[in-house]
Structures are given as structure tokens and as C-alpha cells.
Structure 1
Amino acid sequence: MAKLRNLSITTPLLFAFPLKSEWAITPIDPAAPINSGGWEDAGTLKFSRGFVMAKNDANFLYLALDVVYDTGNDNGTNDYFWLSFDYNRDRAITSNVDVNYGNYPNYPNKLGIQKYLGPGKWTGITVPPKSEVVQEFGPSPNSDTSHRIWKFKIDLKEINVALSWPLSTPYTYFGFRVRSSNPAFTSDFPGNFYKDFTKLRQLILSRKPSIPSTDLGPLVGSIGLIPTTKILASGRATTDPGYYVHVQNAAFGGTLNLIGNRTKLQQLWAANNKKYKVEIAAPGGSYTKLISNWSNYRWTGSTYALESFAPSSYGYYQLANPGIDYSIDDLLIQFPTTALLPGLYKIKVTFYVGSGYTSIAAEQELKIYIDNHLPATNIESVKHGANEVSACAIETIGAAPDGLTFRITANDPEGNLRGVSFYATYGAGLSTSIYSESYSPSMGNWAGFTNKLIPVSGNWRPPQSCAYSFIVVATARTTNGYSYIGKNSTHRNLTLLV
């Protein structure tokens, strides 16, 4: 049976241990039995009626409510759950922001989502686009007696968690209810959580994937989650479609984490070769020392404690012990790139033998294309026939084929455009797509377009008489090693009468 890491609740709430999620090397299918291996080594907390288990990857939180006390295999949805998350992590219920998951009415294997309106009050329920729930009745890693199990696959975006946070380990606050009709009980964890978010328990997510050793660089194994072997001579990265972070010909930007090859760092540590320097060279320039201060979170056994790192007065760094559990293991340097001009940079990491400055123990040079410029967006013109329609105008559209034409710009001179979306919003939450285009590798370094006619032929007609906001959004093909970052948008408002 799988061995689990148990963190029992034995202390008052003020000092309660968090639930520490572990990395899911492969995505967990909620439909697979809980004993099939996917939940092995999951982070675990005990509650009054069972256990809650957690794993995550770069896209999903995999959570299991293992209700070992619910041994009655009754049908229907009289047995149910609530699962709440503090979306903005302020330990208070925020109306129309914080979320609660539950059974979709009459469908135990269909997930519903709603937002809090206040303590114990919610909006109507809808179906989340990516999150899932599957109910299981059987044995688990925590009990050989068959019992109720709820298994979740929660989209991290729905609970406002991102592994790319540079200044904090990713976390959320959560609480849940499980209800059983046979035997009869209702158990809240923590008690009355749905009325008082100060009682919610912290859930700390992992951002320590197991990257195949064949993909890791010899010294600098990865930038964030992207192996350095996946960075091409152009300084842009491409990863496989099924990888944690799928990027295509992506430049780098934002705050970057250079993460060492674990095996190599262990060898350097054992040989007492712990001193290293990091250098950077601008396009066409020579190397200078890259000086940066950063913080990493060290696991103490009950929580993460902040630990600061900085170079010596001579610009050299000391390797952190690879045997210590950090929020970001094997972190060599964390540095912001927002002040750097776009272009192909060289970065070099050099480890020295012992305490000297001359004999090199290990060295690696990287080339990365850095681009923090956002794509330019503009609605160049809106025309009704041959006449320009000014912003805030009230325009009457005649019978078909009468309508509007547009000219729009979505341009990235560095060639790092990822996608363009041009659409209109109107009425009560309604929208309609007008034009979109997405990157494909055949486009190379795609710069987009300027003053493009939309539609190419004919006219665009509004669905109904209403006030419209026309919006152009351009996203950047730039990554911080964990996800794509950067977008720009513009809009123009008109009232159209049909």
C-alpha cells in the first residue's frame, strides 16, 4: 500500500499545520482508483472523519477527501461535499470572489462551482470548464475497509494560484464539508469554515517537478520548469505538448529562476565546491557579474520559513545545501529581467574548486532571448461604409448586408506574438468574436500585423441593438519558465442600433 506523508492535526488552529501538496509527476485521472498509484506520496492531513490528500502539477490541484468513516454505500447525492477556497487569500469572505465547489444537483460525478455572497450565502451554481470530481467507494491508502472517497481535479486558475509567484511559495486557504447519510454525520473542516474564513487551513502547493534527467542541462538544469536543453540557439524555448509547461518558440521575461541539476549540485556539495558566480552579457557585450538578492522558503517540518540569499561583497554566491527541503529546490539565482532591453543575452554560471577563485569545478553558458516589451494594440479605425465612426457615437445599421469594417493592429517587433483576439462585449455579460489568430511554429518569429482590415470582405453586423465595447487583446509568446506572461489590450465603445 502506498506510503503517505501524514501531518496530523494535534495543535490549536492558530498553530495548525498546513496541508503540503506534493508534486504529481504525471497528471492524475480522477476516474482512476485511488489505489492505482497516482496518489502515492501525496501530502496528507487527518480530519475527524478521514483524510484529505493533495498533489499538484503546473496546471491542476489534485485533492482527495478520503472519508474513511463513511462506510455506507448508498446511492444518489444524499452524501455530498462542499469545497471552498479563499480566492484572494485575505482570510475573509469576499462577495462574488471566493469560490465553493459542490455536487451538481442529482449528478454525484458532476462538479458545480459557485461564488460566495456572504457567510453561508452563494450565487447560483455553474459547471467549471476544466475542473472535475469523481466519487469512489472502496479501499484507499488510509483504510482497507470500503468507504466514500471524493477525488478532485481543480484548475489552478479557478482558485487564483500560480506556480510562478516570485516572492512567495504558492498557496491557498481551503475548507470543506462532507456529509454521510449512512452512517449519519456532517463534518466540517475546520468547523463553520463557510461562515468564517479566518478558520480556513492553508494549503501549500509544490513547484518541484521531477524533470527527466536526460532533459536537464549539465549544471543549470532548468529555468523554472523549462529544461535548459529545450532552449534553442535563438534563445527561445520549445517544449513537448504533453510537458508541464508547453511553450512554442518562447522568449523569456519577468523574474527568472535558474535551477541547478540536482545530481551535479549534490556532487559539488560533497566535494566542498560550493562557491559560484553568475555572469550576464547583453547582446554584443561582454560578461559582467549578475548581482541579485532573493528569498526562498525552507521547510521546517511544520511550515515554510523565509530565508534570504545574496552574493558576497565580491559578487560570489554560496550553494544552499541540496539536502534541505526548499520551496524551490536547487535554486541558483532568482533575478528580474524587466529592466533589460529585448535581445539575445548570454548567462554563465561557474563553480570553483574549494574556496579559490581560479580552478573551475563546473561551468555552463546559456543563451536566452529576453523580451519584456508588450505587443502593441490599436483599433485604427471603425467605418460604416466610407465614413469613420468616432468613439461613443450612436450609429444606426441598416438592413443586411450593411455593417461595420475595422482596421486593427497587433504587432510585436521582436517577433514574440502569441495570439490576437478581437471581440465585442455587450448587454449583460454577452460577447461575440469578430477575429482571432494564434501562433503556430510555421510562423517563426511572428510579429503580427498593422492596420489589418477586418473582415477581409463584407461587413460585420451586430447581433442586436445595444452599447458595444470593441476589444483587441494581444498576448506575448514570453515565458518566465512556469507559464506564458504578458498581454496588452485596447478598446473602443459605440452604441449600435439595428
Structure 2
Amino acid sequence: MDLTESLDNEIWTGSFENQMEIPGGFLWAKNDAEFLYLAVDFVEDTNNDPGTGDYFWLTFDTNRNRAITPNSDINYGVYPNQPNKMGKQLYLGPGRWTGLLNTPSDSACRYDFGASPNSTTPHRIWKFKLDLNELNVSLATWWYLPYTYFGLRIHSSAPSLNYDTPSNFYTSFSNLHRIQFSRKPTIPQSLQGPEIGSVGLIPSSQIHATTGRATTLKTYYVKTNNHAFGGTLNLIGNRLKMQAVAGMVGSQYYRVLHREGTSGSFDNFTSGWTNYRLVGTNYIPINIAPNSAGYYFLYNPSSYDFSIDDLLMQFDSRLLKTGIHQFQVEFYNYGSGTYSKISNPAQTLTIYIDNNVPQVSIDAIMHGSQQVNACGIVNLNGNTTDGIKVKFDAYDTEGNLLSYKVYAKYGEGHTQSLRSETHEGSGVTLWKGSNNLIAPQSGVYVPPVTCAYSFNVVALARTTNGYGDIGRNSASRFVTILK
């Protein structure tokens, strides 16, 4: 989403209709799988004077405990006299911060001045793009709707305006505003399957019909590159198909069919789960399970608003074996005690399920030809070129390795990278990684100071639950190094 686009551009559709009134103006919000987008429509500030002391504070309670957590909770602000450069600082306590941190960030802001749907008089507009990882927000959680707490200050020097919402938010988080994130983006109909539209947010058309692995378009908000599936999976129906069936006379039901592999008969596949239906302003839990005959009631998407819309089935893929699995959906009309099939399945969805995590180990910490045991002590005797090597394994039998990294950690959270590699950089379709690797690849790691060091290997699986990457494994070993 491009912050240069004006507020009347279609990318902000829905934000105006659901805007929040705040002192001095209005707050708009949208999100995708990577960023939260905010726009402060500051209609009271009609003086176009960027860089003259106007600023904002934008605070987030990153662990959502409604209390200030030192060195965790974030306050974003603008650099002095640079209205399009945003920095961040961490809270140290009520009204105390670390100062602007010089750390890389994908978050950004933009200053605009012009009209908006709220006022034809040109006025100040702040727009923000905030990295969800930085906010400690994950859309991969299916068991609750992701959210965070925030506070906002907008300040203008001319006219003289200063608004905090809520009041004194920077000294107490007890009354911070809550923002609920959407996991319900619209998947283009052209990308959906005719009956099973998607697995989570991954369109069925982006899942290879033979390998069962997902590769989404590079511009798509859920990034996959030959990913397997794992964890709790949501089979999302094609809304147009569901509406058409649910609109028929009588009561409509459906069954989900499954088979392991690509041959043999399909069997009725059942699971139970909880979805949350919007009633008034609250989401009410609805327990969903098949009836005694093994059929699910088909909720009409036109009449029911669920936290996960169009959900045909939610199941734990860890109960299934690693490998290819296929699914179909059959729709039925019920009347006079009989279930009548409306049509044969028009789609067979193939997915590769892999819930194994990569194999990770530290085989040895080497100082020259000597192996250093865990909790051992290495004395470099002032040699500025002497150092350490790490022998390790990062391997995935199924070829579903996303990345690995090796790093040293010491002191007050300092880290130094020793080696890393990614699936994309490997050039291998089914990348397994390797055993008997060495970090660094050449030379040795020269520790900067005398300290206790942890050497760490972390490997991520190239596995998705349809909303984000899942599956990781790690290993670590501690030694003390004397410079």
C-alpha cells in the first residue's frame, strides 16, 4: 500500500466508513498480512507549515498487558524538521524513553496537506505504515482475533493544538485504545477454487495441483515459495458457491471428503472447531461439528458474519501423515429425512502436509584444533586474530527448509551474525540444507570482548498454515571467552 496515495484513493476503501473520531480529526486504519496502515485526518490544522515543530507520538503496547514494559513498548515519532522521516524509541517508564533508536525498520510515515472526505478545506494529514512484526502482532493466530493497544498525540505549532488520545497515555497504558486486526481480506474470485476457495489466505489456484505446495504471487500479502502446509488449517469456501447453494429452497448441508495420496476412495472427513459470530458489537463463540449423519450445516455467508468468514472446516493437520493429501466438498439439500447431493465435487484440492521441524544441532565449538565443551573457557591470550568456529547441522528431510542462521550473543543482548542462508538464495526447489556445516564459512569468529557467549543455530521450516510461516528449531551452546 503506497502512502503517497490520497485518502480518496480506492486503497483506503472501508477506512472512511469505519473511521474513529479523535480530538482534532479522525483516524483511519487498514491492515494486510505485513503492515498496519493508519491515517490521521487532522482537519483542525489548516496551516501548511511542515517542519516547524509539528509532530506526532504514536505509542503501542507491544505485549498488550496495558502496562508500560521497559525496553519493549514502542513510541514512534518524527525526526525534528523532517516530517517524512519516522523513528522509534522504547519506553523506559512513564513519560521516559530511550531516545530515537538508530535501528533498521520497514515502518514509515508521510506528511500530506490537502482535502479529504471529512473536509474540503485543505488540512494536515499524517499517514503511517507500521510493521506488524515490530508491533509484535501475528495474523497467524486462529484462536483469537489479533489486536493491539495504542495511544496518539498530534501537535501543531500554528495553530497551537496539542491533542492526546487517550489523555496522558504516555504515563499510563490502562486506557489505551484497542485496534482489532482483520484476517478477512478479499481474495479475488479469479484466484479461488470453485468450491474450496483457499487454505487460510492462500488461494487454491496458488497451490500446485501435483506437488500440493503453495507459491503465491510476489505482490500477494501472504508470501510463499514452494511452501508445504502444517499446523491448524482452515479450508475456506468459495463465497459465491456457498451463497448459491445456501440460497436454494430447504436446508443445505455439506461434507468434506479426504484421502491420503492421489489414489483410492475418498472418505468422509470430520472435525470440530469454534468460530466467532458477530452479534451486535460482540463476537459470540459458535461450536461447529457434524451432525450424527456426518453432515455440516451450511451457514449462508450473506446472513452470518464470522470472525473467519466462509470457513468450511478447521482441522489439526498434525493428525495426518507427512505427504500428499487431497480434499473435496459435496453439497447437499435436506428434506423429508433425506440428504440429496446437489452436484458432484467440481474440485480436488491437493496439499502437501509437513509438520516436521528442521533438524538442528551444534556438533562442536572449535578453538583451533581443540573442541570446547559446553560452559568451557577459551583464553585467546590477547591474540586479535584468534577466534572460534562452530560446526553445526541445519537439515530438513522433506526439503522444506526456509532458512537458517548462526549467530553469537553476548553482553546486554548484543548479537553478531556468523552465517546464514535462505531457500531463495539456495536456488534449490526442495532445499534440505545440509549437515557438517561450519560458521563462519571462512576464517574464524573473533569475539569483540571478554564475556560469556552463546552460539546459536536457528532454522525455519518452509511451512505455512495459510496465514504465515510456522515451524522452527534451534540449538545453542554457551562458552566463556577471555580476550
TM-score (norm 2): 0.91
Note closer, same or farther for the CA distance 1:302–1:68 as it changes in structure 2 (3 Å cut).
farther
Matched, 1:445 2:430: yes
Q: In structure 2, which of residues 169, 178, 190 is the aligned counterpart of residue 214 of structure 1?
A: 190
How many Å apart are 1:401 and its aligned residue? Answer: 5.9
Note closer, same or farther for the CA distance 1:72–1:100 as it changes in structure 2 (3 Å cut).
same
**In structure 1, distance between residues paired with 2:97 and 2:36:** 23
User: Which residue number in structure 2 is paired with residue 179 of structure 1?
Assistant: 155
SS of match in other structure, 2:189: coil
SS of match in other structure, 1:274: strand
How many Å apart are 1:435 and its aligned residue? Answer: 1.4
User: Which residue number in structure 2 is paired with residue 333 of structure 1?
Assistant: 313
SS of match in other structure, 1:38: helix
User: Which residue number in structure 2 is paired with residue 37 of structure 1?
Assistant: 10
**In structure 2, distance between residues paired with 1:80 and 1:182:** 12
**In structure 1, distance between residues paired with 2:104 and 2:26:** 25
Work out whether residues 112 and 128 of structure 1, in 8 Å CA contact, stay in contact via their aligned partners in 2.
no
| Post-superposition CA distance 1:255-290 (Å, at most 9, x none) | 111111111111111124620112333458864433
User: Which residue number in structure 2 is paired with residue 156 of structure 1?
Assistant: 132
User: Which residue number in structure 2 is paired with residue 5 of structure 1?
Assistant: none
**In structure 2, distance between residues paired with 1:430 and 1:91:** 28
Q: Aligned partner of 2:281: which letter?
A: S
**In structure 2, distance between residues paired with 1:198 and 1:308:** 33
**In structure 2, distance between residues paired with 1:188 and 1:362:** 59
Instruction: Count residues with an aligned counterpart.
Output: 471
Q: Aligned partner of 2:179: which letter?
A: L
Q: In structure 2, which of residues 222, 233, 246 is the aligned counterpart of residue 245 of structure 1?
A: 222
| Post-superposition CA distance 1:388-418 (Å, at most 9, x none) | 1111222133747644333211111121111
How many Å apart are 1:447 and its aligned residue? Answer: 1.7
Work out whether residues 115 and 122 of structure 2, in 8 Å CA contact, stay in contact via their aligned partners in 1.
yes
- Residue range with higher mean Cα deviation, 95-104 or 287-296: 287-296
User: Which residue number in structure 2 is paired with residue 376 of structure 1?
Assistant: 359
**In structure 1, distance between residues paired with 2:272 and 2:165:** 39
RMSD: 2.2
User: Which residue number in structure 2 is paired with residue 292 of structure 1?
Assistant: 271
Matched, 1:61 2:36: yes
SS of match in other structure, 2:12: coil
Work out whether residues 114 and 121 of structure 2, in 8 Å CA contact, stay in contact via their aligned partners in 1.
yes
Q: Aligned partner of 2:312: which letter?
A: L
Structure 1: which 5+ runs fail to align? 1-26
How many Å apart are 1:301 and its aligned residue? Answer: 4.9
Mapping 1:205-284, distance limit 5 Å: 205-232=181-208, 233-272=210-249, 274-283=252-261
**In structure 2, distance between residues paired with 1:362 and 1:198:** 55
Q: Aligned partner of 2:137: which letter?
A: V
SS of match in other structure, 2:167: coil
SS of match in other structure, 2:75: strand
**In structure 2, distance between residues paired with 1:194 and 1:219:** 49
Q: In structure 2, which of residues 394, 401, 404 is the aligned counterpart of residue 410 of structure 1?
A: 394
User: Which residue number in structure 2 is paired with residue 485 of structure 1?
Assistant: 470
Mapping 1:7-18, distance limit 5 Å: none
4+ residue segments displaced more than 6 Å? none
User: Which residue number in structure 2 is paired with residue 347 of structure 1?
Assistant: 327
Matched, 1:47 2:30: no
TM-score (norm 1): 0.88
Matched, 1:395 2:358: no
How many Å apart are 1:217 and its aligned residue? Answer: 0.5
Q: Aligned partner of 1:259: which letter?
A: I
**In structure 2, distance between residues paired with 1:222 and 1:199:** 38
User: Which residue number in structure 1 is paired with residue 77 of structure 2?
Assistant: 102
**In structure 2, distance between residues paired with 1:314 and 1:430:** 59
Note closer, same or farther for the CA distance 1:454–1:154 as it changes in structure 2 (3 Å cut).
closer
User: Which residue number in structure 1 is paired with residue 63 of structure 2?
Assistant: 88
Work out whether residues 169 and 297 of structure 1, in 8 Å CA contact, stay in contact via their aligned partners in 2.
no
**In structure 1, distance between residues paired with 2:138 and 2:84:** 26
| Post-superposition CA distance 1:318-376 (Å, at most 9, x none) | 11221133222211111222333322222222112344434243523222111111111
